[in-house]
Amino acid sequence: MLYWLATWAGEYLPALNVLKAVTFRAAFAALFAFVLCVTLGPHFIRHLRRKKIEEDVGQKDSAFLAEKHSSKKHTPTMGGVILMGSTLLGIVCFARFDILFTLLACFVLCTLALLGFYDDYMKLTQKRQGGHKGRNGLTVREKLVFQFTIGLGVGLILTWYGEPVLSTQLAIPFVDAAVWPVLGYFYIGWAAIVVVGASNAVNLTDGLDGLATLCTITVAVAFGLLAYFAGHAGIAEHLAVPRVHGAEELSVVCAALAGACLGFLWFNAHPADIFMGDTGSLPMGGLVGLVALSIKQELLLILIGGVFVVEALSVLIQIVSFRYWKRRVFLIAPLHHHFEKLGWSESKIVSRFFIVSVLLAVFSIAMLRVK
C-alpha cells in the first residue's frame, strides 16, 4: 500500500520516493507491527479473559508438566490472532503485491492461521463439553493433511510461476554458487515437506514462555537479510547466493513478522500474560519455510533454525525409540521439557536456547562469503 502511494505521490513530491525503498518499508513494517501488537495486546488479553479462553494445563501428557505449569492454568491462549493479524497488516501496508512471493506469504499465513485457529477452537469447545472420546483438537493426521495440502499448493505455484531457471533447484549452502540438478516435479513434494516441517517444528518449540517467539525473531531477521541479499544483484553475486528477482520484498515480510513477535513478546515473556496457541505457531513456522523456499535456502534453514530442528528431532527420536525399543532417550520431549525435568528454570532454558539461536544465525550469515 505504501509503495503504491509513494509511486503516485512521488510524481508531485520527489522526496517521497524514499518511501519506495525496500529497506525503509521493511523498517516501518517492523515498527508498525510492533506498535500494533503492543497497543492492541492489553485489550485482546482482557477480551480473552472475559470469554475464559484459557490454557488447559490439565491436558499435558506428563503429570510432571501438569504440576510444573499449574500456575499457567488461567493464562489466555489463542494470542496468535493478534500476532498474525499484526504481521498480516504490516505486510499489507508496506509490501508490494505485484510480487508473487508477497501473495504467497499472505496465503501461507492466512491458511495456516485459520488451521491453527480451528484447532485451538476445537480444543476449547471440547474442553467445555467435557471432551469427545479423549480428543483434544484436531488429530495429528487431520492436521498433517491440511498442512500438506497447503504445502503442495505452495510447491505448485513456485514450480509453475517461479523463475524458470531456479524454480525447481536447490542451493547448497557455503558452496560457491552450487545448486543441485533440477528436481522437476519432485520439488512440489519437497516444498510441502519444508513448509510442513517448519510449521510443526515451531509448534513443538512453543512450550515455554517466550521460547518460540524469541527464536522466531532470530530466524526472521536472518532470513530477512538473506532475502534482501538474494534480491540485490550486486550482493547476490558478491556472496555467491542465488539471485531471485523480487526476493527483496520478503525482507518486508520477515520484518513484519519480527516486529509482531517483538510486540507479542511484550506479553509473552515469562511469566506470560498470553500464549499464542496453534493460531500463532503454525503460520509462523510455515511463513519462515516459505521464505526459505523462495530464496532457495531451504538447507540453510536447518542451520539457522537449528533450535526448531533439534526440538522436532527430539520428539521424533523419542517416538521411534519408545515404539520400537520401549526406551526413552529424553526424560520428556520436546527437548526444552527434558531440561525442565533436569531442574533448569524456565527462564534459563529460554535464554540459553535464544543464545544458541542467535549464534546459529550469526554464524550462518557470516559464513556466506567463506567459500
Question: How many domains are there within the chain?
Answer: 1
Quick one: cell of 160? 509453475
Cα(195)–Cα(365) distance, rounded to whole angstroms?
22
Residue of higher predicted confidence among 150 and 326: 150
Residue 97 lies in a domain: yes
pLDDT over 80 at 180, yes or no: no
pLDDT over 50 at 293, yes or no: yes
Mean pLDDT of 98-109: 95
> Of 85-89, 139-143, 220-224, where does mean pLDDT reach its minimum?
139-143
Residue 340 lies in a domain: yes
Best mean pLDDT range from 61-65, 87-91, 122-126: 87-91
Exposure string of 97-115, with b = 16+ CB inside 10 Å and e = fewer, is eebbbbebbbbbbebbbbb
Residue 39 lies in a domain: yes
Residue 266 lies in a domain: yes
Q: What is the pLDDT of residue 170?
A: 80
User: Which domain does 283 fall in, by range?
Assistant: 22-366
Exposure string of 37-47, with b = 16+ CB inside 10 Å and e = fewer, is bbebbeebbee
Residue 204 lies in a domain: yes
Rg, the chain, Cα only: 21
Residue 45 lies in a domain: yes
Mean pLDDT of 119-139: 72
Mean pLDDT of 300-309: 96
pLDDT over 80 at 315, yes or no: yes
Residue of higher predicted confidence among 89 and 61: 89
pLDDT over 50 at 133, yes or no: no
Residue 209 lies in a domain: yes
Closest among 265, 271, 268 to 347, alpha carbons compared: 271
Mean pLDDT of 78-106: 95
Residue 176 lies in a domain: yes
Query: What pLDDT digit, counting tens, does each position of 221-237 carry?
Result: 999 999 999 999 999 98
Report the 10 Å Cβ neighbour count for 53: 18
